[in-house]
Structure 1
């Protein structure tokens, strides 16, 4: 393949499947040959990112991420995508592993907000993503106010991500809407960022109708297609 990208996925697998679907749907193709060339690495056995971030005695996912980047770099893709929000906690270490660019999903999502400077941007995701402020610097740099969930809302988000979606593929629409309702109403959010790809599954299945929701995984898919088409044209 002259021009291709590599997806480092499997964190979780169903969310990675959604990302691939988004990429394919956003590709302006009218024949098999017009779709994009890519390699999907569904590395599902990488240790849980949030668990390690919250408790460093747990298995560390960083060596696994570094190993797979080193392996895949030998194939010389144009760029990598990393379909896990929490894994971007390790981004600065990961870019030292390879000379090949890695798209930064949180940074791209923050760039896509495009709202007034006074906008209050709520972020929901794993406890590791929220506590370690993986999104905060990018949102603040864009001039917006970051709004974190309360402990009670965070507990609901964790239940939805880990107990519902990851454990049994249960996209609990009622709980998803309840969480977003509280963020928009109780915390006066103007925009809400879905800082976990499991939440992308909920939004894709039952889009929230009462407020502006930005799905970083969809933003990543859009940027993936844009960059892949640009690279393909350059190498044609």
Structure 2
């Protein structure tokens, strides 16, 4: 079903994981899709596989975000969908946290996301949809997750305030908060095969539905938020974690 026909969508961090799956889903639903990435080789590969437009941009650098907005404006004009997806993961006990880790996470996950929204607002059509990729950890209290969780909690606050500010233009702003999801980001933790299996088993044990989510699951929810079926939903956070945050 082409629920997003004639819509133009920008997806940050669309060359892998949830961003890639969402680009694929939105294109299948009829949207014209633009993805960003900060790795040239990965971006070019994704563009070729998906048949979409790609722009290099590091969300942690405001100058690159500003340049991205200019490029999108020049080539496409206004847009209908903005999925602010780019992000990184990092953990550390509070006692051992470093300024470098703090800055690297907040520069992308919080500051970068904030200014991506800020700079794209002039390009949003009235009636557009903005979706943030948050996390179930925003409302959980796991050890060693203080920096990452705080950044996602701050993101949810931005989402709600943006929903109020942009409501006069009928622009809806929402967030999708996945729990454990099988994506490339888990492979970047540097774990060997046994340790990775141990992590998966540990997560599954804590998820009532006894499975780890997929990027496709999240992509379908993001696409739903951007379609007419969600036209009366704004300022909402949907937690997709198989019940993990209930425990």
TM-score (norm 1): 0.45
Structure in which a larger fraction of residues adopt strand: 2
